[in-house]
Chain A
Amino acid sequence: MIENAEFLLTILMSVPLLGIFFSAISKENPESAGRNVLSVGILTVITNLVILMLIGNNLIHGSASLQIMKKFEWLNTPKIEFLFAVDTFSLPLIAAVHIAILLGFFGVLNNSYRQKTLVILALVFLEMMIGYLLAGDLFSFYIFFEAMLLPLFLLVGILGDMHRQDILYRFFLYNLLGASLLFMALCILFNHQHVTIQTINTVVLSRNLEMIVWGAIFIAFLSRIPIWPFHYWISSVNVNISNPLVFIIANILPLTGVYGLIRFFPLTAPGIIAPYLLVLEIISIITMVVIALIGFSHRDVQYKIFSYMTVYYILYLLGALLPTDALLSNIGFSIFSWLIIVAAIEVIISHIEKERQQLGLPEYGILKNAKTISFALSFFVLAAVGLPLSSMFLNNMFIFAGLLTYNLKMAMFILFAIILSSVNLLQHLFYLKYSDNENSEKNVVAIDMPSPIIIVLGATILLIITSFINPLWYME
C-alpha cells in the first residue's frame, strides 16, 4: 500500500497529456513511417497500465465506495470543486479502455496515413475517457462526457473513410444534444443542492422539475448507446471505419452511456421515471433483436462486430437498470474482458482485410494456411461468444440471472439476441477458415502477422485467461 496514493491519480491523468505533447513534437520521416509517434503512444498507454496496477494494489477489495480521492477547487462563484476518485468498479473499465487502445495502436503498426494525427487524437480521447471514469463530482463528469466527442469526431472524419458527411454531422450533433441535456440537468441539480454523484439521489425537486432533470439525464446517457431509432447513423458511422484503432475508439463511446447510468442510478431509478423504464426496456430489447437480425443478414464484418457490441452494451444497460446494485461488479468485470476481446477481434480482422487486399486474395478460406492468426481469432471469437475463456463467462451468468428473475419473457428475447449476435461472429470466423479439398490448392499464399502484434495478442490471451481464473489478481 502506498500512503497518500492520490498522486497516482494525478500521474494517471498527466501521462496522456505528456504523451500528446511528445507525439506532437516527434519527428517523422519516410523511413520511420510513423513508428516514432506510435512508439510514444504505446509507451504512454503502457506507463498508464503500470500506474493502474499500482492503484489496484492500493484499493480495498470489497468496498463499494470511492477510494483514493483527489480534489481540485476550480471556481468560487458558483462554488465548483472537481473530484476525481477510483473504485473497484471503475478501475477495470479504465484498464480495459487502455488495453483496447493499446491493441488498436498495434493494429495500426503499418499505417502510414496521418499516423501522427491518429495517435494524438487517440491519446486525447484516452485522456477524456480517464477523466470521465475517474470523475466523482457532477461537473467533471459532464466536462469529460462532452469533451470526448471532439477527438472522436475528428478521428472518424479524418480516418474513417466517411463518404457521407451528413451522417457524421448527425452523429456528432446527436451526441452533443445528449451532452447539452446532461449539462442542463446537472446545473439544475447543482443549484438546488451541492451534491456529488454518490449523493445525487438525495436531491428533492418539484415534480415537474424532477421529470425534466431525470428525463434529461436518462436521454443524455441513452444517446450514447445505439438504441433504436438512433442506431441507424451510429451504425452507419461504424461500418465505414476501416482503421481498427478508430473503430475501437468509436465503439468505446457507448460505454460512457452505460457507465453514466450505472453511476447515476446505482440502486433504483427515481420514482418519477420508473414508469418509463418499462418502455425503455422494451425499446432496448427490440433494438437488440433488430440489430442482431440485421447483423445476421449483413455481409459486412464491421456491421457484425458492431451488432455484437450493441447487443452486449444493451445487455449491460439492462443489467444496470435492474433494481439491485449487486450486479455492478459483475458488469464491470464482464466489460473488462469483453472490451479487450472485441478490440483484439477488430485488430485481427482488419489485419486480415489489409493483407487480403494487398495480396489480392479472396476472403473465403483465407485463414486456411494462417495457423497463428486462425488460432488467435478462434480464441477471441470463442471467448466473445461466452465460452469459459474469460471473465465474461461467469459474470454474464449473474447478469442473466438477474434479468431472468426480473422478467423471463423479456430475458428470452435478450438471450435470443445474444445467441444470434454470437452466431454472427462464428459465421464470419468459419467463413474465413473455410476449407475443402478444392480450396486446398488455391490460397497457398499464407497471410502473416508481424511479430509484435503476435506477442501482444499472446499477452492479451494470457490476460483474458487470467481474468477467468483470478479476476482480482492485481489486488493485494
Chain B
Amino acid sequence: MAINFVFILLFSGILSFFAPKKHVAYLCHLLILGAFGYGIAALSDCFATPDLTVMWEAMPNFHVLLNIVPVAQTKVLALGLLIFGAVSVMYNITSAEEQSKSFLNGLVVFNIVLLLVALCSTNYFQLLAAIGMADVVVYSMLNSYEAKRQYIYGNFLADFLLLNIFAIILGQHDNIEIVDSGGYSTDWHHRDYIAIILLTCILIKSGMAFFHSAYQKMSPLSANRLNFILFMTTPLMGAVILNTLQDVLDISRYSLPIIRIFAILTILWGACGTFVMYNNHRKCSYMAMVFWGLYFCAFSWLSSINPLSFLMFLGMAYLFNTVLSNVGSSMQGKIPVITMLVAAIGYMLAWWNFSGTNIILAIAGEGVIFMLTAHVASTYKNSTIQSILPAISRLWLYITIIGGTSAVFYLIPDILRLLPHIVVIAIFWCIVATHNPFAYRIEKFNTENIQTGDITTSIYETMLLAPLQITGRVLRLTIDIVFLERTVISSIKNAIRFLIYIFRRLHSNSVLSGIIFSLLGALIIAFAYYNGVVK
C-alpha cells in the first residue's frame, strides 16, 4: 500500500524530536533523510501516493477539509522544499557547532510539513493553522532569549492580524475557501483596511524593513539554524501568504505601492547593514533582508512568478548565506573566496532568471547582489566568528555549492548565450573581492551602537510601548484610586458612618429615646388614622 509521504515525514520528525541524544540519533538522521528521499521520489511521480484529505472536526459546528494534494503549481515548490529540507538536515548532521541535532532535525521536518500544508491550503483554516503552528516550531528552534522574545511578539501580532482578516471574511461571506476570494472584490467592505492589515502581517512574517529586528537578534544562533530560519521558515511563509492571498490584496489600490516601497526600503536597509556589519551572522541576516526585498520587488513588478525560478533564487541565496556564515578567520587562503564566487555566480544567475523580462529590475538586482556578495567576500576575514568547520562539513558545503550552481546552470534556458557575460562579471567580482574598495569607508561604522544597536526596537519602545505604559499608570491612578477609592467609595463609607452615628445618638439615652420613639409611633398611627378614617 502506498503510504502518503507526509505521514512518513511526520513520523520521522516525531521520532527524531523525542529521540534520546546518543543512542538512536544516527538512526533518526537516516530515517529523516530516507523520508525526504521518499517524498522527493513521490513528488517526482516515481510512484503513486494517495492524496491526503482529512475531514477535520475543528469545531463542534464546523468541519474543515484538510488537503495536502500538491497540484501542478505547487508540486515544484513542494519538491524544492523537500530538497532544501534534506540539504539542511545534512548541514545539521555534519556540523560540529550544533549540539541538539536530532531535536533540530525534527523541527526542520515539522517546519517543512507545515510549509507543505500551507502551500496546499484551499481554505483559510488550514492556512491559518499551518502558519500558527509553524510559528511555534520556529520559536522552539530559537535558542537565543532576545530572538525568541522579538520573534514571538512580532509573529503573534502577525498571526492575530491574519486571524482578524479571516474573521472578517468569514463574517461577511460565511465561506472559507481561498479560491472564492477573488469573487468578493466587487462587494467587499473595509477593503483598504483588510489589505493593509494583510500586508502588515506579510511584512512582519518576511522580516521587511522596520519589522526585521527579530531576525537581527538571531545572530547568536548557529549558522545552520540561522540560515534555515531566514530562508525556509517564517519569511517563506510570508511569501506563501502573499501568493495565496494575492486576490485579497488586489481589492485595494494601495497594496502594490506599499509593497514596492517596503521592498525598496528593505533592500536599501539590508544593503547598508551588509556593508557596515562586521559580524558574519548579522551580515547573513541583512543579506536575507536583501533577498526578500528583491523577491517582493519581483512580485510587485512582474506579472507572474515562475515557481522553478523562485526555487533557484531561494536555493542560491540560501547557499550563499550558508557559505558566508560558515567562513571565518579560520579558513585561510583562496578557497573561501572561490567558494563564495561560485555561490555568487549562481546567486546572480538565479536572480537574472527570476526577474524574467523586466530588464531594469534584473540589472538593478544584479548590481545589488554583485556589490554585496563581492563586499562580503572581501571582508570575511574581519568576521568576529571563529568558525572551525570540520572536514566533512566543508566537504558537504562544497558539494552543495557546486551542485546548486550546476543545477542553476542546467535549468536556465540559453545559458550558453550568457557565458561571456558570466566570465566578465566573475572577473570584476574577483577584483572587487580582493581589493575591498569600501574597507576604509566602513571603518568608521565599527562602533558598538551601530554593530549591536537596534534602532527599530528603540523606536517601538519609545513611540508605542512607553505611551501605553504611561497611559496604564495614569488610568490606574485616576480611575481606580482617585475616582473610585477616594471619591465614590469614601463617600459611601462616610454616609454609612454618619447613619450609624445618628443611630447611636438616638439610642444612647434609654428614657429619652423611648419617649421619642413612642411619640414617633403615636404620630404614625395618628397620621394613618387621619388618612384612613377621617379623610
- Seen from chain A, the residues whose Cβ lies within 8 Å of a Cβ on chain B are 61, 88, 166, 170, 228-229, 232, 235, 290, 293-298, 326, 329-330, 332-333, 378, 382, 385-389, 391, 393-398, 400-405, 408, 415, 418-420, 422-423, 426, 430, 433-436, 469-472
Min distance, Cβ B500 to any Cβ of chain A, angstroms: 14
**Can you list 26 contacts pairing A with B, beta carbon distance less than 8 Å?**
A166-B493, A235-B480, A298-B476, A329-B59, A329-B60, A330-B59, A378-B139, A382-B152, A386-B163, A387-B132, A387-B133, A387-B136, A387-B159, A395-B59, A396-B163, A401-B171, A404-B167, A405-B171, A408-B193, A415-B164, A422-B160, A430-B145, A433-B145, A433-B148, A471-B57, A472-B60
Give CA–CA (A400, B197) in the complex, Å: 15
Which of B133, B170, B475, B479 contacts A398, CB < 8 Å?
B170
> Contacts A385-B156, A419-B160; is A472 near B128 (CB within 8 Å)?
no
Residue from B59, B125, B489 with most neighbouring chain A CB atoms (10 Å): B59
Min distance, Cβ B495 to any Cβ of chain A, angstroms: 14
- Seen from chain B, the residues whose Cβ lies within 8 Å of a Cβ on chain A are 56-62, 125, 128-129, 132-133, 135-136, 139, 145, 148-149, 152-153, 156-157, 159-160, 163-164, 166-168, 170-172, 189-190, 193, 468-473, 475-476, 479-480, 483-485, 488-489, 493
Which of A297, A394, A433 contacts B473, CB < 8 Å?
A297
Residues B129 and A382 in contact, CB atoms below 8 Å apart: no
Q: Which residue of B lies closest to A389 (CB)?
A: B136
Contacts of A435 in B (CB 8 A): 145
Contacts of B145 in A (CB 8 A): 430, 433-436
Give CA–CA (A235, B479) in the complex, Å: 13
Residues A402 and B171 in contact, CB atoms below 8 Å apart: yes
Give CA–CA (A170, B490) in the complex, Å: 12
Min distance, Cβ B465 to any Cβ of chain A, angstroms: 8
Residues B488 and A401 in contact, CB atoms below 8 Å apart: no
Contacts of B156 in A (CB 8 A): 385-387, 422-423, 426
Contacts of A400 in B (CB 8 A): 163-164, 167
**9 closest Cβ contacts across the A-B interface?**
A297-B472, A405-B171, A388-B132, A401-B171, A400-B167, A293-B472, A401-B167, A401-B170, A329-B60
> Contacts A229-B484, A297-B468, A415-B164; is A398 near B62 (CB within 8 Å)?
yes
Give CA–CA (A404, B471) in the complex, Å: 26
Contacts of B171 in A (CB 8 A): 401-402, 404-405
Give CA–CA (A286, B75) in the complex, Å: 49
Min distance, Cβ A441 to any Cβ of chain B, angstroms: 15
Contacts of A402 in B (CB 8 A): 171
> Contacts A293-B471, A401-B168; is A88 near B160 (CB within 8 Å)?
no
Beyond the given pairs A332-B60, A422-B156, 5 more chain A to chain B contacts, judged by CB atoms under 8 angstroms and listed by A's residue number, are A229-B479, A229-B483, A296-B469, A387-B136, A423-B153
Residues A293 and B475 in contact, CB atoms below 8 Å apart: yes
Q: Is the interface of B mostly helix, strand, loop or mixed?
A: helix
Give CA–CA (A430, B139) in the complex, Å: 13
> Contacts A389-B136, A423-B153; is A472 near B57 (CB within 8 Å)?
yes
Which of B129, B148, B475, B485 contacts A290, CB < 8 Å?
B475
Q: Which residue of A lies closest to B60 (CB)?
A: A329
Residues A470 and B468 in contact, CB atoms below 8 Å apart: no
Contacts of A403 in B (CB 8 A): 167
Contacts of A401 in B (CB 8 A): 166-168, 170-171
Min distance, Cβ A335 to any Cβ of chain B, angstroms: 13
Residues B61 and A296 in contact, CB atoms below 8 Å apart: no
> Contacts A294-B476, A298-B472, A330-B59; is A387 near B163 (CB within 8 Å)?
no
> Contacts A400-B164, A401-B170, A405-B171; is A294 near B472 (CB within 8 Å)?
yes
> Contacts A290-B479, A382-B152; is A297 near B484 (CB within 8 Å)?
no
Min distance, Cβ A177 to any Cβ of chain B, angstroms: 13
Give CA–CA (A405, B190) in the complex, Å: 11
Which of A235, A293, A415 contacts B160, CB < 8 Å?
A415
Residues B468 and A293 in contact, CB atoms below 8 Å apart: yes
Residues B129 and A398 in contact, CB atoms below 8 Å apart: no
Q: Which residue of A lies closest to B156 (CB)?
A: A385
Give CA–CA (A298, B472) in the complex, Å: 8
Give CA–CA (A426, B117) in the complex, Å: 28
Contacts of B160 in A (CB 8 A): 386, 415, 418-419, 422
Min distance, Cβ A185 to any Cβ of chain B, angstroms: 24
Which of A170, A382, A388, A391 contacts B139, CB < 8 Å?
A382
Min distance, Cβ B17 to any Cβ of chain A, angstroms: 13
Residue from A394, A418, A430, A471 with most neighbouring chain B CB atoms (10 Å): A394
